[in-house]
Structure 1
Amino acid sequence: MEVIRLLAKALDENCYVVREDERITIIDPGYGVSTELAAFEDKKHLRALLTHGHADHIFDLDQIETDEIIIHPMDKPMLLDAEKSFLNLFGKNALLLGGKKVLSTEVLRDRWKCLHTPGHTEGSCCFLFDERFLFSGDTVFSASVGRTDLPGGDHDQMTSSINRLKELFTKMPDLIVFPGHGRQTTARIILRENPFFM
């Protein structure tokens, strides 16, 4: 198993590639990563996992050859609406997904778990892999949390999501956290240094 970080430099967003024995999972394919992701489009089962539906996390989704796309149902409309996802602000229309299967996060099994963490968007999620890694999207960063002042954001929901994550981090302090922006960190460091978790 291997986690590879690709930086979508135009919007400073982190895309992650998780290589497992049976498949490759691409998390949040942002603006400009499709060229690098082409190297992973081999014979393995390839899927895209989206922490939420904002443009900087989905921009290149329709340029990669995935077998399936997984997103929380509450953020699924963003894939089809350039205004809701803010794709229009970057000169792009709604994604052209063709016949690609778009599935709910409820399909995740085995080594993958979805934690619904609304606040940044209604369908924001964190993905726990192998009880060792957390892909937190724009819910939590090393020293901050996602903004709640955009459409679909909610301060009270974010507070509830932070409290849930605080419980998880307390139980699993060695958890490695891969955020949607910025450097990777650990649950222990977030509990100690992130002011929103103190």
Structure 2
Amino acid sequence: MLRPVGPLPAAVYWRRRLLVLLLVVAVLGGGGWLLVAALGGTPGRAATATAAATPQAAATGPPALERVLPSVAGVRTPTPAPEPPAEPAPAPTQTPGGPCSDDSIELEVRGPAGAPAGSKPTFELVVTNVSPVPCVRVLDERLQEVLMLDAAGRRVWGSNDCFPGDGTETRTLAPGESVTAALVWGGRTSEPSCTTPRTTPQPGDYLLRGRLDTEVSPDVPFTIS
């Protein structure tokens, strides 16, 4: 196969083979170029167009970070709804001429700041209508009471323990009007049944507290010397 056979010199046959090989290579190369041109156009021009378009797209498009994360300025945070204003508590109402509620009266204990042991001081229970309209309050003696407590809050004496009283009274109180009831302390201890021995409290600091049925006054200091 490799050695030429024929009447002509061997060089002639080698030249013919070389010429045929060149023709085959040329045909194959031309066919490949035509196939590429038919499928995608000219390779050199496509590469040039792609290279030219890439910088322009990069220049006009958003930065790479903004394509991944949104801009802070573009993020909208919701605004919290304002809290409704607090409504004031409704003022207690008092029906004109009706019964005085506990909110409509003020109770106070008045008297000396102190007294010697064994003495008999007088205390006053003062009831005042603090509402803007007149109202009616039951002032029965059994509903009125002054209590004495020691520093630990233990009961020492009560005005109704041994002498509860049986008087009845219903009073119409005008706005700002006060009613005073005087109660005398006998100077000795007592308890509600008034059955235990009554003794003279020891000198020291005590508290006085008034009561009119369900209404209770603030405590008032009292000293026994």
Highest relative contact order (Cα 8 Å, sep 6+), 1 or 2? 2
Both proteins in one fold, TM over 0.5: no
TM-score using structure 1 length: 0.21
Give the TM-score, by structure 2 length: 0.20
